[in-house]
Amino acid sequence: MATKVEAKKARSDVSSILSGRRTDDRGLRTKSRRTGLVTVAAALMVACGLGFALLLSQAGETTSVLVVAGPVAKGHVVERTDLVSKKVAGADGAIETANSAQAIGKVAAVDLVAGQILTYNMVTSDPIPGAGMATVGLSLTPSRVPSAGLKAGSIVDVIAVPGGEGGGTDEELESPRILAKDAQVFSVDGAATEGGGVLVTLIVNASDSARLAAYSTSDRVAIVETSASDGGK
């Protein structure tokens, strides 16, 4: 019986086609749509995979750059021993190890700290002291220098110590003369301990240098730290 029904349906479909009537093709259309969606999904997966692979490859690219091995104060010459090489990714502006000549022998434009990636704007070819500046050495007793915290890069004022056996007038003590303002400490040797002495080298305006040297020779100077080095910020 089933065979007769199927044969009748088949003859009906053939007759419909020959007569130009529409047949039920919903199954074919559904299958076609499903095939298209699967193709689009596969294409998207391939594209996402390629993009992810590209990101991974870029993230894995490293460059050998110069890194500061130990503290270097602003104004000091960068030596070969001050630097080490390290491979990093995405360090814009960093000095590559192959270009170490661009850093070694140059002057630190800012205070450099250990572990810091060295960039071109952190070093300079300008000499120390610069134009219009001078370096002056002061030999100070512990009572005339901060006992802690003074280091290369610190900013200080140089004060004139009143002379005379009485230690100066009240006016001199109330308003001591400032021999140099906002001078930069270039180096510190010694420790401000009892019985010891400290040699501090300052970078000052050239116009102040002779006066400072004269007062220092007469043992009439003291320094006051006014602000810590800002590290170039």
Domain boundaries, the chain: 63-124, 133-227
User: Which CA distances in Å does 106 have to 153, 183, 210?
Assistant: 17, 22, 28
Residue pLDDT, tens place only, 151-186: 888 899 999 988 755 566 667 778 888 999 999 998
- Averaged confidence pLDDT in the chain: 78
Pick from 109, 110, 108, 117: nearest CA to 230: 110
Q: How many CB atoms lie within 10 A of CB 33?
A: 10
Do residues 179 and 211 make contact, with C-beta atoms less than 8 angstroms apart?
A: yes
Beta bridge partners of 140: 198
Do residues 177 and 159 make contact, with C-beta atoms less than 8 angstroms apart?
A: yes
Whether 28 has a pLDDT exceeding 70, the answer reads no
Read off the pLDDT band of 25 (50, 70, 90).
Answer: low
Under the phi-then-psi rule, with left for phi > 0, alpha for psi from -120 to 50, and beta for the rest, what region is 121? alpha
Residue pLDDT, tens place only, 50-96: 555 555 555 557 889 999 999 998 888 999 999 999 998 877 889 99
Question: Which residues have a Cβ under 8 Å from the Cβ of 150 and sit 6 or more positions away?
Answer: 156, 185, 188, 192, 200, 223, 225
Residue pLDDT, tens place only, 205-225: 999 999 999 999 988 999 999
DSSP 3-state of 218: coil
Backbone phi and psi for residue 123, each to the nearest 5 degrees, phi listed first: -125, 155
Backbone phi and psi for residue 36, each to the nearest 5 degrees, phi listed first: -65, -40
Higher pLDDT, 195 or 66: 66
Read off the pLDDT band of 18 (50, 70, 90).
Answer: very low
Q: Which numeric CATH code is attached to 63-124?
A: 3.90.1210.10
The per-residue pLDDT for 75 is 84
User: Which CA distances in Å does 82 have to 1, 65, 93, 103, 113?
Assistant: 99, 14, 19, 10, 10
DSSP 3-state of 190: strand
Do residues 153 and 183 make contact, with C-beta atoms less than 8 angstroms apart?
A: no
Question: Which residues have a Cβ under 8 Å from the Cβ of 67 and sit 6 or more positions away?
Answer: 83, 84, 85, 86, 115, 116, 117, 118
